Amino acid sequence: MNGVLKGMLSEWFSSGFLNLERVTWHSPCEVLQRVSESEAVHPIKNWMDMKRRVGPYRRCYFFSHCSTPEEPLVVLHVALTGDISSNIQAIVKECPPSETEEKNKIAAAIFYSISLTQQGLQGVELGTFLIKRVVKELQVEFPHLGTFSSLSPIPGFTKWLLGLLNSQAKEHGRNELFTDSESKEISEVTGGPINETLKVILSSNEWAKSETLVRVLQAPLMRLCAWYLYGEKHRGYALNPVANFHLQNGAVMWRINWMADVSLKGITGSCGLMVNYRYFLEETATNSTNYLNSKNIKASEQVLSLVAQFQKNSKL
């Protein structure tokens, strides 16, 4: 029954029946309200926040079904920037540089949020279709635009890391995640056994307010995050659902960013880390095929270097 329903929904919501619509501040109030309420990645706080996200240097698109125009099914938020963004606060909090866009300052399109408004459509490839259509739309508007990337959250990383610390603490305080020098430095800062104290510290967002903790945790957490994204698998594919989505689309695991989301959600969910998945348009079809058929993850030198450091310093 589940398979039959999914098949029928995939047919009913195939790309031929979908309309691409852009949201602006002049869109109907009902549309703005629905887009605001459906934002699941970086919650929209008020109408001024909403106005910024559909204003200059920002784009917001959604798919609607031909039978229900102006009813968003999946929403994509895009920032138009000078380079590949490494920090989400710079996108969702800062005011745009001016009220009028200067096209020569726009060199990159950053997909920073994609949200389904209808949870019953999970598993239907709406997000994949939407990104492809939006890329074409942006290329028409900005013919010189050549850089496309996401700035993505890493849901589940903190939970995975706490699970590792917990299992190691049970095995007689064994430490196989950190180098000797890292263990010594972290213990000096926290004042206790590394696994136990880190479990407590990383369970809240207070640690991100300490410059010392942020400094000593950067190298090991970057390394562990790279392994979580690249090395942890579910049936041979990336365990992290956001990674799996972009890799299926043919993106490259491009760059892991430290302290990229310092919101409460960002710190507690992924220790403040975010990742760029970069879309090289001429390579996406090949990358997607290699991932889906051979489970090969295309990653940058930065990510592979961090993975190699994890494999060298950890004994999992």
SS3 label, residue 131: helix
| CB of 111 closer than 8 Å to CB of 75 | no
280-284 contacts at long range (C-beta below 8 A, 24 or more positions apart): 280/252, 281/135, 281/148, 283/250, 283/252, 284/249, 284/250, 284/251
Signed CA dihedral, 82, 84, 87, 92: sign only: positive
Which neighbouring-strand residues pair with 299? 253
Which neighbouring-strand residues pair with 81? 108
List helix spans (H) across 231-271: 241-248, 264-270
> In one letter, which amino acid is 38?
S
Instruction: Count other Cβ atoms within 10 Å, centred on residue 138.
Output: 18
- Separation between Cα atoms, residue 314 and residue 234, nearest integer Å: 21
| CB of 27 closer than 8 Å to CB of 51 | no
* Active-site position among 38, 152, 203, 305: 152
- Separation between Cα atoms, residue 67 and residue 180, nearest integer Å: 62
Instruction: Tell me whether residue 14 is one of the annotated catalytic residues.
Output: no
DSSP state of 18: E
CA dist 279 to 14, 109, 171, 190, Å? 23, 10, 42, 40
Instruction: Tell me whether residue 27 is one of the annotated catalytic residues.
Output: no
The closest of 312, 208, 187, 206 to 260, measured between CA atoms, is 208
* Active-site position among 246, 263, 294, 300: 246
Active site residues: 152, 246
